[in-house]
Structure 1
Amino acid sequence: MQVTAHDYSDNVNQLIAYIEEYKHFDQIISINVGNAIKFINQDSLVAIEVYGDELRFFSKKTAYTTRGRLYKTLEKLDRRFVQIARGTVININYLQSLEAGFSGNMTAIMKNDRKINVSRRYLINLKERLGL
């Protein structure tokens, strides 16, 4: 990555310091939230869910809403993320347990006590990723 500027203002220096703080910049997801760009470390990202034409990113502490396509976001994520439903992706590092749900579906219980439905269609991928 290369950062160039005509003048090195305080804002540019802060940006450079922020980027240098993260040795693995590919672990950072950037999303547009309103008039700002938010940077989320993949380590803190618990799940992503689609609501209509909006994506909701759930981190350990905060939720962010933006517009976008789930498949494009999924391309940016590493292997710890798995799609468990048409509109849902989870970080398997935050998966606490799987419980049987209704009509053959499973429910993913996350470490933050969030319950997320796993569709039968995507259950095979989840089990493969977990080595089951």
Structure 2
Amino acid sequence: MQIKFQEDSSVSPENPTVIVKAASKQAQTLDILQYLEHFAENNKTDIIPIKAIDQIVMVKSKSIILVDIVDNPLLIYTTNSVLQTKETLSHFGEKLNHDHFLQISRHAIINVDHLLTLEDSFSGNLTAKLTNDIKTSISRKYVKSLMTFLGI
């Protein structure tokens, strides 16, 4: 693989153009393209505004451990606090970087960077132990996608 840099003053420094040249789309070329796509997605802002009861709180997505619906409010467990909002799980999930967050049940999304252990639970479910001693259940419907996500 060759790597070259070509300076072009007509290209915006905030939005560079990357061109990958290859004879065909082989596995290595596809890996490079996928890496560049993920780099572009991860380079987006890391701050997520959360409309809490009486304020809007700016939260770094890396600090979010678990997003869970309990009764009606959506609870967002972070490394520092627990925030409550009236937002829906699906709408909030769209704001999250899908490289780190995964839905594990109809009512919860976890940040896999905060996943510590998985244990067998009742009737095919798993129990996930997360940072800050937070535990949540992974429904059996989502176990396969979690294992695929983890490469297991």
Answer yes or no: is 1:120 the counterpart of 2:152: no
Answer yes or no: is 1:63 the counterpart of 2:82: yes
| Off by >4 Å, runs of 4+ in structure 1 | none
**What's the counterpart of residue 116 of structure 2?**
96
**Amino acid aligned to 1:89:** I
Q: Shift of the alpha carbon at 1:25?
A: 5.9
Change (3 A) 1:36 1:25: farther
Answer yes or no: is 1:87 the counterpart of 2:107: yes
Residue pair 1:29, 1:40 contacting (<8 A) in 2 also: yes
Q: Shift of the alpha carbon at 1:114?
A: 1.2
Answer yes or no: is 1:38 the counterpart of 2:57: yes
**What's the counterpart of residue 14 of structure 2?**
none
- Structure 1: runs of 5+ lacking an equivalent: 1-23
Higher Cα radius of gyration: 2
**What's the counterpart of residue 31 of structure 2?**
none
Aligned CA RMSD, in angstroms, stands at 1.2
Residue pair 1:49, 1:55 contacting (<8 A) in 2 also: yes
1:91 and 1:26 mapped to 2: Cα distance?
17
TM-score (norm 2): 0.68
Q: Percent identity?
A: 32
1:53 and 1:111 mapped to 2: Cα distance?
24
Across the two proteins, how many residue pairs are aligned to each other? 109
1:57 and 1:114 mapped to 2: Cα distance?
12
Offset from partner CA, 1:34-76 (integer Å, 9 cap, x none)? 2210011011110000123311000011000010111111111
1:126 and 1:70 mapped to 2: Cα distance?
18
Match of 1:29 among 48, 60, 69: 48
Question: Which protein has the bigger strand share?
Answer: 1
- Structure 2: runs of 5+ lacking an equivalent: 1-42
1:74 and 1:40 mapped to 2: Cα distance?
14
